[in-house]
Structures are given as structure tokens and as C-alpha cells.
Structure 1
């Protein structure tokens, strides 16, 4: 074969290959009968069970006066509290009692003095102390701190829950709310996002059929980040029809790292064959893999967090970070400050930063016919803080920049905005028909 014929043949092969491979790029949208990007197997959780809240024996509770926080230059509106590690001496400055062995109270607190409760798993507390910069413990307040009028007010908001304890917010200090709807604010921080009407898709011939939409953010600079904190809120879920239909609905926050690995925080809405309910769990993808590692391949697997449909909308905090060669993911109930056991897996050698985040909505029809009707929304999913590697916390808008949005896709949608506090918010939805 001469050179000209060889070149033509090679070009034909390349064009054929391009036609067979679905391309996913900035402003992603996918309608495909083939696997596209990361794919969670339907039976991913087949050997998992509902997660349990950590018992109080695994928690650390520190009661400190609001006066002391103000002395350290902290106010309730800053969003971050910073306390000298040397001050939080749980043997001298703070003491516990036989009645409450897992609650350490500052010795100098008066009976009617305003207080704050700092609460987290003991393992996480130890990691924060080890990572303390300049000898100061630095914590995003919404995820670890609750304020009360006095110790009596705090005690009235403790509620036993098996081996765990719910810590409910004081009526005087309600939890901050993040809007579940795109407002009309026209400040420069709000991205001009429009809801697409969707595109027409012909009836599928080959199954499974996959519909996906992503809103993407890239890292702005070469600064390295090791910790992202946010909230994910399963907001609504309706499902009607027979158990014959088979489908998967995933609405996610995804992070990628410089090593090529990726972690997803997943809300899954399950068809009737799988229980018709909502579950929350993480996935981890090794570089170049389209399938996540299995639960048995995690160093520590915390099972899945069931979401009661009669409790939604319900916000759950998520913590995604890496340290000492491992990834860690933790979930908490934003209303009760209860945590489940952290997930842990080895990180690829050389992992040094988050490089990308996205909000997604994905719908996979596994077999025909599709006769069910459903509507699912995860709203909002909000990134609230990102930490510079071994450094200070920043608002997410200082770390991430939005990638141009693509056109609409039938059955799924994601909207996004950056609010006036610098939070990155996505709102995922899926529906059929």
C-alpha cells in the first residue's frame, strides 16, 4: 500500500473511532447508549447496610464561653472560629464529669453565660489539632459549632438517640439557611444561568440509555487545596408506577485531584426494585478508570446513609480531604450534629491538590419499557469552604472558576450560582417523562 492510500485508510479509522467515542467536555451534556465517564454500578451497595451514627464514646464535645471566643477575636458572623490549641487543654482548662464523660466544659463558665458547643468525631478532632497552623485550631463554624444562651439551654437541646446524641440548635441561634431557589439578585457574583427547556430524544432502541448534565468549575491558580467542606440536601422525591421499570438516578458533587483520581458525593434515588428510597454515599475512581473501587476496596467503608423521605428537604454536611496518603470522607446531619463513621481509602502517590469540582444530574434507563414517572431534586449542593494545603480556609469563589454552561438535556438539569458569600451552589434535578 502506498503512502497516500495508507494515509486515507488511517484517517478513515480515526474518524470511525471518533464517532464511536462520546465526548464529554466543558459544559457537559450527554445522551448515550454507551458508558460515559464515571459509571456507578447499580449493585454498588449490594453488600452494604444502613450506616449508624457514631456513639458518643467516639465524639468530642467542648463547651466554651462566647466570651472566650470573642477574646480570641472570633464572632458568630466570621464563619471560622480560631482557638489556640494550648488553650483547649481537656485536663486543666476544660474538665468533664462522670455524668457527661464525653462533654468537656470550660472551668470558668458562669451559670448564665452565653456558650458555644464545639462537636466532632474524636478522630477528626485529632487530625485538626495535628494540622493546626501557628498553633491555632481553625474550624468552619456551621459544621462544628452551635451557640446557646447558657448551659441550661444547651442541656435542654441534648436528645438521646440510642448510643448517640442529637444536639439540636437553640431557638435563639437558628441555623443559617442557604437558599434552595435561584434568586433575582443581579449582583456580579450571580452567574446568569437559565433553565433549559430540554431537547427532544427519540425513543431508545438500545439499552441502557444514559442522560447526564454537569456544571463544572476549574481551579483558578496553582494554589494547592487539601480540604473541601459543603452541604448536600436531598430536597424532593416522587415516584409512581410499577416495579417493572429499572433505572438509576444520581445527583452528585464530584472532585478531581492532580493525580487524576476523583471522589463523588452521591445522592441516589432508587427505583422500586431497589426500594424506591434515597441513599447518600461516596465513590472513589482511580486515574483512568470508569468504575469506582468497590466498598470492599476501601480501607474503611462507612456503609450508606439512608435519607428518610418524610424528612426532606434535609441537609447533610460533607467533608472531603486528604492527609498522610489517605482520602477521608465524612457525613454529618446538619440539624443534629451527628456523624457517621468516616470513609477512608489510599490516595495516589503525589496527590497534592483538588483541581476540579462539578455538580451533576444523571439518569440511566436500564431496560425498556419506561412507564414510571418520577421527579427528584437535590437542592442545594453548596461548597462553603476550601482549605489551602496545610493553611487557611478560603471562600470557594477564590479557588474555583465556572466553565461555560452547555445546552440542555432531556430529563436532567443542573443550575449553578456563586452567592454573595462566595459559596458555590448547584441545584440538580431529574424527571421522567
Structure 2
């Protein structure tokens, strides 16, 4: 299968479009009212200019390409000290804006290809992917542990390989294998059953989407599992009636919707299949009046926008032929695919909920600190960064925080523990299930 995953060298033209203006270092919005705040977790933690946003990372990319920089422990650390949250991309207004996360990840791909990356603590991810088809070193049989309450209640969940269904619930590795996050798939399946949806899961046959491998630069491992999944999805569509793939995981959602499109066979293999986030699916039922909340939830809550369901899904229009501005010019950005409004509308529709917004939201949301391999490579920093977000949530007067990403779920709860905060991160589906 042919993939259009660019190398660092293939992105050189985009790299030199950076003028080192420094806009990428902070979040800003002209308003009204105007807003100004920190956006780069690495810049906040380490301060060193090379760690701050795309300006610093692009300087590394230039040095690697022209041979001024050679791989050593310090350089490798600096390349991997980044959550690839795309906060810097949101701020940039230059012609290299559409390519910033790809430039950062292409450096990591080069490090892996040259045998020096990823970081030692992250190498367990690659080993686990090869051994277990997931990054958590979890035996495949553990993927169905979360379904036990449904079996006990005599409402078992379909194995879609044995019983056909139009909806595949693609659970994801974090929800299935990371024990503190298992409430998420439980709540999701609970809602699906309450709504009478005909759905199934892959169970032990589910394979990682490959997002984690891609983020740390292991593109060969990403391609292996992605190719498996693309062919599996086609088989499920052709032979098992699947026309919708639903996931509650922001990382899986981003990978299947965006990374998989780098395959030249994507359109053919995914023809007739809709990929949708759980919250989008539930929103459709809600707007049609088929999902009504009957129980009050008197909570004060705030909402955290995950990077992978937010700004990572922005689409950039580029003047490829120079007909509107000049060849290669960045023209404009569309956020139609970003899940900003739907979660907020669903959250505020819950009876008696008291919703409070943080300052840094939507495109300017501050990353939880767990993405880009940081939660594995630098767990102390990930938790420390998460605690900053928890404190920002507390400043609104909210008692709990809500999001739609299992990575954010785990890491922000780790951050709350770190500062002994009573605030807890809940996934939106947990609250929706409580209110049904």
C-alpha cells in the first residue's frame, strides 16, 4: 500500500517559510475582548527557545537538514519534548502554518529511521505494538474486560465478527486497556443500548489505530496497523453490514479521519463507511428528539477541548497554483470538522448543569500535556502540565472538568492527583449516561 507520508527533506521548502517572528509562542485573539495567554506546554516547562513552539522546532529542523546539527541526547530530547498539540500552528499566519505538526513529526520519523529515536522510555510502545498490537503491553484478551458488566446484566455486546451490525464501536486501546479510563467505553455502550442501537465491537480482534506510533515517529509500525485496519474495515463493510465506525477516542478519531487519508487507497477501502465521534452520533439523536435527558445533574463543570478533536482537524486552504495570491500561499482556515460546539451544546442541555468556560478554549485550548508521546516519555512533566490545566479549571469556580478524549481523561486526573485537587475529569458520555 502506498503512503504519502512526507520526509523531513520533502518538507524543506515549508520549513524555510518560517520567519522566526515568534507569534507561535503565545495564544492570542484580537477579540473583542482581546485575549493573550500561554499556549506551548514545552515553552512553559523548559523555557529554552528551542523548546518553544514551532519557531524553536523549525530551527532544529533546519539544522538537521543542512548538517549543522547531529543527533545526540540533548537534540533528541528537544525534538521529543513536544506534545504536538498544534497550539503553535493555530497562532502562525505564515505560509508554513499548514505543515507545522507534520514538520515536527517528520523530525521524529528521521530519528527513528536513523536508529536514534524514539526516547528510551517510548521504545516500549514500539515493542508492545509489535507484540500485542497495542501500546499498553496488554494481552488481546484484556480488550473485552470492560464488557463484563454487560454480560452479567444479560445484555452482552455483539462480537461484530460473529454477529453483523451496521455500527462498529471502535473502542481504542486507552479505553479498553487503561483501567482508570474504562468507565468511558462502559458509558458509551450503556448509552448505545439505551438508544436501541444495533452495534458491535471487534473485541480481541481490535488492533491499535496507530496514532501513538505515528506521533513518536514510528511510521512503519503505524503503516502496518493502519493497513490492517483499512482492509478490515472494508471487509466489515462488504461482509458484515458495517456502514458507520464510531469511536470515543480523540486519537483514534484523528488517526482514522486524517492520518489514514495519507494512504492512496483510503477512498477505495473506506467507500461507504462513515467515521464519526461518539459525541457527533449522540448529537444527531439529540437533535432529532430521540435522546432526552430525564435526570438532573447539579454539577458545576467546565469543558476542556482536546487537541485531536479540535485544532488538529482544522483544514487549510493553500494557493497551489498562485491564482489567488502566490504559489504556495496560505489563504485561510476552516474549522468545520473541529468538535467545538457540539460537546458544549450537549453538556449544557443536561438538566441543572452549571457550565463555566475557561479562558483558553476552542482553538486556543491549552493541551493537557499527554499527547505526542509525552505521557510515556516524560510522565512527570505530563502530569505537571495537566495540573496547570486543572488549576485553570478550578479558577472558573467549576467543581468538575469534562472532555471527550481518554488520553485527556487519564492525564488530567493524574494532574489533579498531583496537586491534590478534588476536581475530576469526566468524559462527556459519562455525564450523558447519568442524565438519561
TM range (shorter): under 0.3
More helix by share: 2
- Structure with a larger share of its residues in strand: 1
Q: TM-score, normalised by structure 2?
A: 0.27
Give me the TM-score of the superposition, normalised by structure 1. 0.27
